[in-house]
Amino acid sequence: MEPLPEVTDPRIIDGRKIAQDIEAKVKNEVEVFVKEHGTKPALATILVGEHPPSKLYVKLKHWAAKRVGIISEDHKFPHETEQEEIIGLIDTLNRRPEIHGILVQLPLPKHIDERIVMMKIAPIKDVDGFNPLNMGKMLIGSEGFVPCTPKGIIRALSEHNIDPKGMEVVVVGHSNVVGKPAAIMLLNRNATVKICHVFSKDLKSQTQKADILIVATGVRGLVKADMVKEGAIVFDVGITWQDEKVYGDVDFEDVLPKVKLISPVPGGVGPMTIAILMEHTLEAAKIQSE
């Protein structure tokens, strides 16, 4: 991938800079953890199949782990691997005390039930925040391990001194990975939240009302300037791979003149997501070492 240009426009959320700050803090705390416990935090990743973006995401996570001093184990399986084999590995990793975090890279092949797989990860090692227990805690406002991308959005708002309380939020996309948890986390912070999806009527009339607009559909260039409120804050969480380049759900150049803040693709929520995964792995190691 080509190096990203330096962010100079104050309207552009520099996810790389926020991620670097998170990683620097994690690295320092990992060094303290190692001195106190004589062992390093460790993350195990599970990848099933040959989905190119997933392979890249896993590689980026392992690179981040190396940067902050976290051990990372890479478990790869062919596409046709049966669900029982994946669950068997998760059971083994749950029992290994030296493994503190378990991450199953999504999406999984269609013959594997993601919900069952996520239920098998021990909640205390669920650093991606997808186990139903951790999702349920989030729903009642007791946020522990939550999905990393929505947490990155919350972190970016905090970095820019934005309190979402009372703001109108529209989330486009209702996945368990981004849309639903982002909506719940913003509700927990007393925003007024609406979720739109492929069956919503007149999307434009909904997005035009948003003080904070979060778009996570995987439809390249879905959101144009006429769909965005003047002075809105826009988080583009969509990823489309085309001709070996990555594109977002928001027509960035079209929308930029209207916004107060916007996250680019690439270089926006992606780096923050990975940095927060490192933060969660360290936190899991601390909890399991008490």
Question: Distances from the Cα of 144 to the Cαs of 35, 101, 131, 139, 208, in angstroms?
Answer: 25, 14, 11, 11, 32
Q: What is the mean pLDDT of residues 87-110?
A: 97
154 and 260, same domain (yes or no): yes
Tell whether residue 175 is among the known ligand binding residues. yes
pTM higher than the cut 0.75: yes
In a domain, 4, yes or no: no
In a domain, 3, yes or no: no
159 and 256, same domain (yes or no): yes
120 as an active site residue: the answer is no
Token pair listed for 205: 């009339």
pLDDT (0 to 100) of residue 5: 60
**Structural domain containing residue 73:** 38-124
pLDDT band at 1 (very low <50, low <70, confident <90, very high): very low
Contact yes or no for 249/207 (Cβ under 8 A)? no
Token pair listed for 201: 């009527």
Q: What is the mean pLDDT of residues 104-114?
A: 96
In the three-class reduction of DSSP (H, G, I as helix; E, B as strand; rest coil), residue 234 is classed as strand
pLDDT band at 3 (very low <50, low <70, confident <90, very high): low
For residue 75, the cross-strand partners are 46
Helices 52-68 and 269-288: angle between axes, nearest 10 degrees: 60
158 and 255, same domain (yes or no): yes
Nearest to 216 by CA among 231, 235, 190: 235
245 as an active site residue: the answer is no
In a domain, 164, yes or no: yes
pLDDT (0 to 100) of residue 4: 57
Catalytic, out of 14, 128, 211, 236: 128
- The average confidence (pLDDT) of the chain is 96
Asked whether residue 271 carries a pLDDT value surpassing 50, the answer given is yes
Catalytic, out of 40, 105, 180, 251: 105
Q: What is the mean pLDDT of residues 220-231?
A: 97
Asked whether residue 2 carries a pLDDT value surpassing 50, the answer given is no
Number of structural domains found in the chain = 2
Asked whether residue 196 carries a pLDDT value surpassing 90, the answer given is yes
260 as an active site residue: the answer is no
Task: For residue 67, give the CATH number of its domain.
Answer: 3.40.50.10860
Catalytic, out of 14, 40, 61, 180: 61
Among 89-98, 145-154, 237-246, the minimum mean pLDDT is found in 237-246
CA distance 123 to 145: 8
Q: What is the mean pLDDT of residues 44-63?
A: 94
How many Cβ atoms are within 10 Å of 26's Cβ, its own excluded?
27
Q: What is the mean pLDDT of residues 210-233?
A: 97
Pair type for strands 192-196 and 168-172? parallel
Tell whether residue 173 is among the known ligand binding residues. yes
192 and 108, same domain (yes or no): no
Token pair listed for 49: 């199949």
Classify residue 169 by its DSSP letter. E
- Asked which of 91, 124, 157 is the last residue of a domain, the reply is 124
Contact yes or no for 44/260 (Cβ under 8 A)? no
